Structure 1
Amino acid sequence: MNILITGVGGPAGRALVSQLATTSHNVVGVDMQEVALADIDSFELVPAANDPDMINQLAALVDHYDVDLLIPTVADELPMVAKASQLGQLSNAQVVISPLEAVEKCFDKLLTMRALREAGVSVPPFGLPSDFTSSYDVFEQLGGAIITKPRVARGGRGFAIHTSPEKFQLESYDDSYIIQAFAPGEEFAPMVYIGDQPGNETVSIVAKTQEEFCETAAPIVRSVDTANALDVALLAVKACHALKLKGPIDLDVRRMADGHPVVLEVNARFGANSSLAPELLAEVLKSAA
């Protein structure tokens, strides 16, 4: 197959490229910046996700390389790629992406949290800045530690933890942010594949730990036997079904102080840790064959 992967310069794109390096598939990588990767067959520059011409250029590359399978990995581009796929703008390529409505719910963290809560999926208490009357009101409603993060942002951009109402300035945040109770327990990054047929589900669990004396802010990741975190695996699958997601999904889950897991974020795409769960890509390739 001819496979086009977007964002090959990012962690998610690189993880997929490395897995495909040992296969016979032809891999075309695209990114908004020059990327030197030995394991791709072709590379092309594309505009940023917010460029109105991005989809047109992506469609032209799909035609030029006779692409069979398109795998987007850049969070910012997912809504427009899902829409283009729905409208048939990407020729005959199979696009590895969930339905547009599901993608849009995952794109906005507030919409994600609301949809999950309404479906009975465990999430931490949350609200918009406008839902609270003061910094003290935030901590009274959400607990002794809170986090703030943009509703629309990649990764940890704009993320902050606050532990004191005296130091937290509620007036500094507008409703482009979401406020959540901080989940202090163990952190996981479940990866899920949801197939088109009922019961076609694959789940892999990764635990994330921060080494106390590590010089980098990046967490240490390790695979976890699903049987040893069954509640996390079941929660991840329930969240994906609640949002009506398909294909590969990357989630963030943490345990609250009492030990029960809650969903923090849902990303409708492959994540940076997919090389620890090669069975997900295997399912995608099998479905596209």
Structure 2
Amino acid sequence: MTQTDEIPVLISSAGRRGALVRAFQQAGGDGSRVVVHGCDLNPDLSSGCQLSDHAHRVPRCTDPGFIDRIEEITRRNNIRLIVPTIDTELAAYAGAAERLAEAGARVHVSPPGVIAAVRDKLQTMRVLAEAGVPVPESCTEEELRADPGRLGWPVFGKPVGGSASRGLGVYARPEDLSASFAEPMMFQPVLTGAEYTVNMFVDEGGELRCVIPHLRIQTRAGEVEKGRTERRADLRALAEGICRALPDARGVMCFQVIDDPRLGPKVIEINARFGGGYPLAHHAGARFADWLIAEVAGRQSDAGDDWRDGVTMLRYDDAVFTG
């Protein structure tokens, strides 16, 4: 590589993900420079796009022209890596990964089968349970109504395809259930105890290279606001189980765990993308962005579990000004 080599990266749905943008801007090394392109519905009002080196307007990921626009951006700017950041766009990118590879970009996304399994939270529980990964007992709304005592009460309900803490609820008794729900729901026993996010990195060959858990001390809108890294062998074992359950998974994923004092740690969901708490992992030494760039550049990465225990993140509000 030469001193002038550039690796253009597209952060999709950049939104407020300024820390992720900065992580990639700093991830070049060895004579390469990462140039970050951000895209969003309204890049002028996206702090992540404003912090990027270049910004692009795109339609919603559900729009029929979404992938056409992403391919256009990719070809015009020689994008080499596309990084999705929200659950709702993962299926679109997984289905178009080969097409975008022909345009010159690797899409940081697992194959469609993996995305289908993790986007359906009930299916996630079934796949993990079959692989021996500890998960809470789960059922559909119809199953719960047919057998109200199967989980005990209270129960925890959430949308099967939900994200960002949308539609969550605790119901103390059968009479508290809504007469109907706006979308398919699943139900589980109410778990108590400390909650963890576990970030994991699977390299392009399918090897689990890094597992870094952090305690979710305080959250806001579903994302960790205050957290602390904790090195725990039992949580690493859960990540290994997820890799057995989803052997085709690649790249960065994170999963949530509730460490119930009676039942032990239970996996409650998986996100097959960079999680909102990734900046804590990055600062602690689990530099997933660097490792992805190394793979794209054809270099050997130093991915591993050499990260710092006991690192605390205390998020605060900041602002980006334009004009």
**Coarse TM-score class (shorter-chain normalised):** 0.7 to 0.9
Matches within 5 A, 1:22-37: 22-23=26-27, 24-34=33-43, 35-37=46-48
Alpha-carbon contact 1:129-1:175 (below 8 Å) kept = no
Query: Shift of the alpha carbon at 1:240?
Result: 3.4
Alpha-carbon contact 1:129-1:174 (below 8 Å) kept = no
* Aligned-partner SS, 1:237: helix
1:151 aligns with 2:160: yes
The TM-score with structure 2 as length reference comes to 0.79
Alpha-carbon contact 2:193-2:260 (below 8 Å) kept = yes
Cα distance between partner residues in 2 of 1:91 and 1:241: 32
Which segment is superposed worse, 83-92 or 236-245? 83-92
In structure 2, the residue matched to 1:280 is: 288
In structure 2, the residue matched to 1:251 is: 255
Cα distance between partner residues in 2 of 1:217 and 1:120: 27
Query: Shift of the alpha carbon at 1:172?
Result: 2.5
In structure 2, the residue matched to 1:260 is: 264
Alpha-carbon contact 1:15-1:273 (below 8 Å) kept = no
Query: Shift of the alpha carbon at 1:50?
Result: 1.1
Query: Shift of the alpha carbon at 1:216?
Result: 8.5
- Picking from 221, 226, 245, the partner of 2:226 is 221
Residues paired across the two proteins, number: 278
Instruction: Give ranges in structure 2 of 5+ residues lacking alignment.
Output: 1-6, 28-32, 298-323
For the structure 1 residues 267 and 42, does the alpha-carbon distance in structure 2 shift closer, same or farther, using more than 3 Å as the test? Answer: same
Which segment is superposed worse, 194-203 or 124-133? 194-203
After the TM superposition, list the runs of 4 or more consecutive aligned residues in structure 1 that deviate by more than 6 angstroms: 215-218
Alpha-carbon contact 1:183-1:256 (below 8 Å) kept = yes
Cα distance between partner residues in 2 of 1:146 and 1:181: 5
Alpha-carbon contact 1:192-1:237 (below 8 Å) kept = no
Cα distance between partner residues in 1 of 2:99 and 2:72: 15
Structure with larger RCO (C-alpha < 8 A, sep 6+) = 1
* Aligned-partner SS, 1:61: helix
- Picking from 3, 8, 12, the partner of 1:6 is 12
In structure 2, the residue matched to 1:123 is: 135
In structure 2, the residue matched to 1:203 is: 211
In structure 1, the residue matched to 2:235 is: 232
Alpha-carbon contact 1:59-1:90 (below 8 Å) kept = no
Alpha-carbon contact 2:24-2:290 (below 8 Å) kept = no
Matches within 5 A, 1:39-188: 39-88=51-100, 91-133=103-145, 137-138=147-148, 140-162=149-171, 164-165=172-173, 167-169=175-177, 171-173=179-181, 176-188=184-196
Cα distance between partner residues in 2 of 1:45 and 1:282: 26
Query: Shift of the alpha carbon at 1:101?
Result: 0.6
Cα distance between partner residues in 2 of 1:92 and 1:22: 22
Cα distance between partner residues in 2 of 1:218 and 1:191: 13
Instruction: Give ranges in structure 1 of 5+ residues lacking alignment.
Output: none
* Aligned-partner SS, 1:193: strand
Query: Shift of the alpha carbon at 1:199?
Result: 4.0
Q: How large is the RMSD of aligned CA atoms in angstroms?
A: 2.3
Query: Alignment identity in percent?
Result: 26
In structure 2, the residue matched to 1:20 is: 24
Query: Shift of the alpha carbon at 1:33?
Result: 2.3
* Aligned-partner SS, 1:277: helix
Cα distance between partner residues in 1 of 2:37 and 2:221: 31
Query: Shift of the alpha carbon at 1:78?
Result: 0.3
